[in-house]
Amino acid sequence: MSEQTTPQRRDIGGSLAGATMTTARAADGIDYSPVALMPDVKVLKVGGQSMLDRGRSAIFPLLDELVAVKDKYQLLLCCGGGTRARHIYSVASELEMPTGVLAALGGYVPRQNARMLQMLLAKHGGVFMLHDDFEKLPLYFKLGCIPIMTGMPPFGYWEKPGKDGRIPANRTDAGVFLSAEVLGVKRALFIKDEDGLFTDDPKKNPSAKHIPKIGARELLKNDLPDLILERVVIEYLTRARFCTELQIVNGLKRGQVTAALAGEDVGTIIYKD
Amino acid sequence: MSRGRLLQGDGRTHIESPLMRESLVDRKVIARTHSEREFEVLPDVMLVSIGGQSIFDRGKDAILPVADELAEARGKVKMIVGVGGGSRVRHTISVALDLGLPTGGVAQLVGAMEEANAVLLNALLAKKRSMVMQREHFWELPLYLENGMLPIVISTPPYHFWEPPAQEGSPLPTHGSDFGLFILAEVLGMKKLIFVKDVDGLYNKDPHKHADAKLIKRTSLGALFAEMPDDLPLDRQLLDAWRTARHVERIQIVNGLKKGELTRALAGDEVGTIIERGEANV
């Protein structure tokens, strides 16, 4: 290239001027001291298939527990999808739709679930929020509200295609973990219909043993064919900066969620090891 | 299998489908959703990326000729134009990291600088039927493209606050502009992406720093993974995503500072560097 005729780049300067971004090297030499944005928030996921699809018998007692402590904690509720998401994934994969389309379609279901919880919690300050409202969290908490949102991250059509199937890798567990991570929250809470992690699926194998605590790397090393949380979340956990613990509790057992919110190690803890 | 019946009995209400009651984490279940083919949503549309640092940051002398070429091709080629953010993105990130903002917070900020470039380019091309399109509004694309419009989108994917932690423990968001445009092309079933940069294509080392850098005119994804050039003008995330992608067959890098190169690439000529996907699952 002849430099005389080439219009010059106008850099602004700064430590990254001219650098190729999105490579690990680009941040070398930057003194990075991360700030936890809202470390006191409790980020909770309400399971789709495990809780919401059970209807009133599972949801009402859970909401009672949450309402009882709502003035004690800042609760951010994130919803899972469940059987309607499975149904649309199934129809869309039969039509051989790309993963990104499945992720966008799957996104509608947890939003519906969040709206249902909002209606039930409205009289206690339940507020439905979209991803774009995330920066309003301080306002909601200041007013004593319970913000309720989808658990899905906003990747949608931009979800990466998978190697082995069409199911989007980042679903509602991922969104919950990533919400906790960006807020600087140490522990994310997943409310399911099991006491946590077992050596096998306890619904199919009654002799499966409960695992109270396990490291993320150890869990990945075991290479289990099935897991209670999305695989990608365990991978993220290994390189998390803030959210270094995931707690899975049984929302069908009265008091477990309350105990977990009080900081007790009920259910299963998966930690960054 | 029948679908749609509501089933109860285990405390939950299910809709009958092959994924009913299943754990979507179970590898066997995931594998059942695999098939060799994949539906192509808009296969005959091309995606053209105009580099932020490489074109926009060079100002008028670089931007206007590229805009002219886009205006000329508009209506002949169905295309979406993606824009990068350039130096202002780098400045944003540099300040954000100094402030200690988390990775997701940094990711939330950068799109705005690309939007500014989208507006700039759109102002130049509005009378040639360009428009700034919200990137996820692509169900409106048939309307735009059949009417000879030129949609302009930003490139960064909408990961925002939910940007996953980086692989190497770096605080930088890893899902950048090249990756975002690639996924946009892939999910719509497009075959071809053109990256308009300020170099003739892919070199074995950075041509801005090394006079003896050699241009690689033609290569494949497999060859790149076998021997990765030191300074890649494309995000690594793009290449990683391409390995499991099904639709994008060719990525072409052309020099926007050389008049006519973009036009020739749009016409299918082999200018710049052509990277072919080649064999699947390299």
Residue A104 tokens, joined: 């966008």
DSSP label at B74? Answer: B
Which chain A positions have a beta carbon within 8 Å of B38's beta carbon?
96-98
Q: Is the pLDDT of residue A175 over 60?
A: yes
Question: What does the pLDDT look like over A249-261, one tens digit per residue?
Answer: 999 999 999 999 9
CB contact under 8 A, B3 and A87: yes
Question: By the 8 A CB rule, do B239 and B222 touch?
Answer: no
DSSP label at B189? Answer: T
Residue A54 tokens, joined: 């059970």
The C-alpha angle A112, A118, A121, rounded to 5 degrees, equals 150
Question: By the 8 A CB rule, do B28 and A204 touch?
Answer: no
Percentage of chain A lying above the pLDDT 90 cut = 81
How distant, in Å, are the alpha carbons of B57, B81, B118, B176 from that of B63? 9, 13, 12, 22
- Residue B171 is nearest to which of A27, A37, A229, comparing CB atoms? A27
Question: By the 8 A CB rule, do A234 and A255 touch?
Answer: no
How distant, in Å, are the alpha carbons of B83, B244, B275 from that of B249? 21, 12, 8
How distant, in Å, are the alpha carbons of A120, B14, B64 from that of B272? 59, 54, 20
Which helix (DSSP H) or strand (DSSP E) does residue A44 occupy? strand A41-46
Residue B7 tokens, joined: 């089933």
Q: Is the pLDDT of residue A123 over 50?
A: yes
What ipTM does this complex have? 0.90
Mean pLDDT across chain A, nearest whole number? 92
In the predicted model, what is the mean pLDDT of residues A90-101? 95
- With left for phi above 0 and alpha for psi between -120 and 50, is residue A22 left, alpha or beta? left
Residue B85 tokens, joined: 């953010």
Which residue in A has a C-alpha nearest to residue B107's C-alpha?
A182
Per DSSP bridges, beta strands B14-15 and B6-7 are antiparallel
Least Cα separation, residue B233 to chain A (angstroms):
8
Question: By the 8 A CB rule, do A237 and A244 touch?
Answer: yes
Percentage of chain A lying above the pLDDT 70 cut = 92
Does B182 lie at the interface with A, CB-CB under 8 angstroms? no
- Residue B58 is nearest to which of A9, A155, A167, comparing CB atoms? A9
Residue B148 tokens, joined: 């000879």
d(CA B211, CA A19): 19
Q: Which CATH superfamily groups domain A38-271? A: Acetylglutamate kinase-like (3.40.1160.10)
User: Quick one: pLDDT at residue A15?
Assistant: 62
Q: Determine the straight-line distance between the first and last CA of chain B, rounded to whole angstroms.
A: 35
- Residue B11 is nearest to which of A9, A54, A181, comparing CB atoms? A54
What pTM, to 2 d.p., does this model score?
0.92
Residue B204 tokens, joined: 């074995």
User: Quick one: pLDDT at residue A21?
Assistant: 59
DSSP label at A241? Answer: S
- Residue B94 is nearest to which of A10, A16, A95, comparing CB atoms? A16
In a mutational test of the A interface, the residue from B114, B172, B179, B184 whose CB has the highest number of chain A CBs within 10 Å is B172
Which chain A positions have a beta carbon within 8 Å of B88's beta carbon?
12
Which chain B positions have a beta carbon within 8 Å of A82's beta carbon?
12
Q: Give A199 or B87, the one with higher predicted confidence.
A: B87
Question: What does the pLDDT look like over A29-39, one tens digit per residue?
Answer: 678 999 999 99
User: Quick one: pLDDT at residue A9?
Assistant: 81
Which chain B positions have a beta carbon within 8 Å of A241's beta carbon?
102-103, 165, 171
Q: Please report which confidence band the pLDDT of residue A2 belongs to, taking 50, 70 and 90 as the band edges.
A: very low
Does A2 lie at the interface with B, CB-CB under 8 angstroms? no
User: Quick one: pLDDT at residue A25?
Assistant: 56
Per-residue pLDDT in tens (0 to 9) along chain B, 282 residues: 566 889 888 888 898 888 888 888 888 888 888 888 999 999 999 999 999 999 999 999 999 999 999 999 999 999 999 999 999 999 999 999 999 999 999 999 999 999 999 999 999 999 999 999 998 898 999 999 999 999 999 999 999 999 999 877 789 999 999 999 999 999 999 999 999 999 999 998 888 888 898 999 999 999 999 988 877 888 889 999 999 999 999 999 999 999 999 999 999 999 999 999 987 555
- Domains annotated for chain B, with CATH where assigned, are 41-276 (3.40.1160.10)
d(CA A63, CA B254): 58
Q: Return the number of other C-beta atoms located less than 10 Å from residue B87's C-beta.
A: 21
Q: Please report which confidence band the pLDDT of residue A184 belongs to, taking 50, 70 and 90 as the band edges.
A: very high
Q: Return the number of other C-beta atoms located less than 10 Å from residue B166's C-beta.
A: 19
Residue B99 tokens, joined: 């402030």
Which residue in B has a C-alpha nearest to residue A230's C-alpha?
B25
CB contact under 8 A, A98 and B90: no
User: Quick one: pLDDT at residue A6?
Assistant: 78
d(CA B64, CA A136): 40
User: Quick one: pLDDT at residue B60?
Assistant: 96
- Residue B158 is nearest to which of A158, A171, A193, comparing CB atoms? A158
Convert B130-180 into a string of H (helix), E (strand) and C (coil).
Answer: EEECCCCCHHHHHHHHHCCCEEEEECCCCCHHHCCCCCCCCCCCCCCHHHH
Domains of chain A, residue spans: 38-271
CB contact under 8 A, A158 and B15: no
Which helix (DSSP H) or strand (DSSP E) does residue A245 occupy? strand A245-250
CB contact under 8 A, B90 and A179: no
Question: By the 8 A CB rule, do A166 and A105 touch?
Answer: no
User: Quick one: pLDDT at residue B209?
Assistant: 86
DSSP label at B236? Answer: H
In a mutational test of the A interface, the residue from B34, B39, B66, B90 whose CB has the highest number of chain A CBs within 10 Å is B90
- Residue A165 is nearest to which of B34, B98, B175, comparing CB atoms? B34
Question: Which residue, chain included where needed, has tokens 């299943």?
Answer: B22
User: Quick one: pLDDT at residue A14?
Assistant: 62
Q: Is the pLDDT of residue A208 over 70?
A: yes
Question: By the 8 A CB rule, do A150 and B162 touch?
Answer: no
User: Quick one: pLDDT at residue A28?
Assistant: 64
User: Quick one: pLDDT at residue A57?
Assistant: 96
Which chain A positions have a beta carbon within 8 Å of B52's beta carbon?
none
Q: Please report which confidence band the pLDDT of residue A3 belongs to, taking 50, 70 and 90 as the band edges.
A: very low
Q: Return the number of other C-beta atoms located less than 10 Å from residue B218's C-beta.
A: 12
d(CA A101, CA A97): 6
CB contact under 8 A, B20 and A91: no
**Residue B19: CB partners within 8 Å, gap ≥ 6?**
A86, A87, A89, A90, B29, B33
**B-contacting residues of A 183-242, CB under 8 Å?**
184, 193, 201, 225-232, 236, 239-242
User: Quick one: pLDDT at residue A131?
Assistant: 96
